[in-house]
Amino acid sequence: MKVTLKLYATLSDHLPTQARKTNAVELDLPAGTSPAQVIETWSLPIKLCHLVLVDGVFVPPAERATRALAEGEVLAIWPPIAGG
């Protein structure tokens, strides 16, 4: 299944160079892949995966290993950030 992975702020360093202009990369994943598995595959520091959204909806830490991604969804991840 096709899923879009978006990494922002300092996590964008983990993207291929050409993908940093958009903060996004297209992934082809086995059905049922979870956000936690993507985080592990991409060797993203767990402590920096603070804000995890799937199609804009927050996925709590306890659900990141069980929430199955679906075709066409967007997984977006930020380190601890704030603003205002």
Residue carrying the six token digits 């991840």: 77
User: Contact 51/58 with Cβ under 8 angstroms?
Assistant: yes
Report 19-78 residues binding other proteins (CB under 8 A). Answer: 20-23, 47-48, 50-51, 53, 55-58, 60, 74, 76, 78
Radius of gyration for the alpha carbons in the chain, expressed in angstroms and rounded: 12
Least distance in angstroms from the C-beta of 66 to other proteins: 17
Classify strands 51-54 and 2-7 as parallel, antiparallel or unpaired: unpaired
Least distance in angstroms from the C-beta of 67 to other proteins: 15
Using CB under 8 A, list all residues that contact other proteins: 6, 8-10, 12, 20-23, 47-48, 50-51, 53, 55-58, 60, 74, 76, 78-84
